Amino acid sequence: MDKKIFSGVQPTGNLHLGNYLGAIKNFVDLNNNKNNECIFCVVDLHAITVRQDPKQLRNNIRETVATFIASGIDPKKSIIFNQSSVSAHAEGAWILSCVARMGWLNRMTQFKEKAGKDKEKASIGLYSYPVLMASDILLYDATHVPVGDDQKQHLELCRDIAQKFNNDFEVENFLKVPEPLIQKEFSRIMSLKDGSKKMSKSELSDLSRINLTDEKDQIINKIKKAKTDPLPMPQNINELEDRLEAKNLLGIYSSLTNSSLKNSVEIFAGKNFSEFKEKLSDQLVNKIDPISKEIKKLLRDKSYLDKILLDGVEKADLIASKKIERIKEIVGF
């Protein structure tokens, strides 16, 4: 095996272009390399760190599985399962929360952003979220974790937790210290309405993101309405520093066409945004419309999606339960 891959996506609805270009596209490439062993998890325990409607959550779990498959992950090659069905994740999270330090968690920017000003009212789960994420990864001895740039800090914490556990219990290399796999360019896709904010599921305005279930007309409309600035398209890459929306849209175009940002800037230099937006919409429709259609088709066959989860749970549980038993022995249970 080349790499042992583990990554997760929260079933919190509105999976979007940021999730696709930042994470899922990478999952598909890793899944296609036969030397990799891949595990992709629908992290439903993470999802409830902020309030979820139970009925909606159940639908979102299936929709996340459908999105994985529609994007090109093959459930015969990769394990796809949901986190809450493998109890070792929660058990591991508790044990690791006794290893992780408050000072480490206090530095996590995602908690600060999500909890906002009203920290006192945030759930304890939202605060300890990165410890559960460490448990997810470490239970499978993952060597590599493909994530978007926003998860980099959590992954560093996971590495610290693994190292501290190994040191504290004198079990060298028992918990494998994983490497992040973050794309060099376009690892953070920004909102279509504000180039300084991450494209996000929870943003109220649907116009801020391209959902993976959007249809052709919706995609074209959202790109037409995407925020730009009054200047023509940038002449060179240096101009992008102060033109966040142009940078984001050119980044999306580059990622979809597998080209460099510099190359995309050169193609559209000095042109009107409307001309560029037309080409960007074409690329998006070509990529997202088939995925959107496939997601909807798959969602009509709930028993197929449930079967994939059941098979995945069985395989994941075999691996995770062995590791948690060893962890329990090591800590003295």
> Which runs of consecutive H residues, i.e. helices, occur in the chain?
17-19, 25-32, 44-47, 54-71, 88-97, 102-106, 109-115, 124-138, 152-168, 216-225, 244-257, 261-268, 273-299, 302-331
Size of residue set near ligand AQP by CB under 6 A: 19
Query: Does 199 participate in binding ligand AQP (rule CB under 6 A)?
Result: yes
**Looking at beta carbons only, is 188 or 293 nearer to ligand AQP?**
188
CA dihedral 194, 195, 196, 201 (to 10 degrees): 70
Give the catalytic positions in this structure: 114, 198, 201
Out of 44, 150, 214, 245, the only residue in the binding site for ligand AQP (CB under 6 A) is 150
Query: Does 136 participate in binding ligand AQP (rule CB under 6 A)?
Result: no
Dist CA 265 CA 280 (whole Å)? 13
Query: Does 188 participate in binding ligand AQP (rule CB under 6 A)?
Result: yes
Out of 60, 71, 83, 151, the only residue in the binding site for ligand AQP (CB under 6 A) is 151
**Looking at beta carbons only, is 80 or 327 nearer to ligand AQP?**
80
Dist CA 135 CA 237 (whole Å)? 41
Which stretch in 9-17, 30-38, 217-225, 305-313 sits in contact with ligand AQP by CB under 6 A? Answer: 9-17
Which stretch in 65-73, 116-124, 187-195, 243-251 sits in contact with ligand AQP by CB under 6 A? Answer: 187-195
Out of 202, 238, 258, 303, the only residue in the binding site for ligand AQP (CB under 6 A) is 202
Nearest residue to the partner ligand AQP, using Cβ: 22
Count of beta carbons in the 10 Å neighbourhood of residue 325: 13
Q: Residue 203: CB partners within 8 Å, gap ≥ 6?
A: 191, 193, 197, 209
Cβ 74 to ligand AQP shortest distance, Å: 19
Cβ 239 to ligand AQP shortest distance, Å: 22
Query: Does 22 participate in binding ligand AQP (rule CB under 6 A)?
Result: yes
Query: Does 9 participate in binding ligand AQP (rule CB under 6 A)?
Result: yes
Cβ 47 to ligand AQP shortest distance, Å: 7
**Looking at beta carbons only, is 69 or 189 nearer to ligand AQP?**
189
Dist CA 142 CA 254 (whole Å)? 30
- Nearest Cα to 133, choosing from 116, 145, 121, 143? 145
Query: Does 245 participate in binding ligand AQP (rule CB under 6 A)?
Result: no
Q: Residues 259-298: x/- map of binding to ligand AQP (CB under 6 A)?
A: ----------------------------------------
Query: Does 201 participate in binding ligand AQP (rule CB under 6 A)?
Result: yes
CB 54 within 8 A of CB 71: no
CB 212 within 8 A of CB 288: yes
Dist CA 188 CA 148 (whole Å)? 6
What are the b/e assignments for 118-148, b being 16+ CB within 10 Å?
A: eeeebeebbbbbbbbbbbbbbbbbbbbbbbb
List of residues contacting ligand AQP (CB under 6 A): 9-10, 12, 18-19, 22-23, 147-148, 150-151, 187-189, 198-202
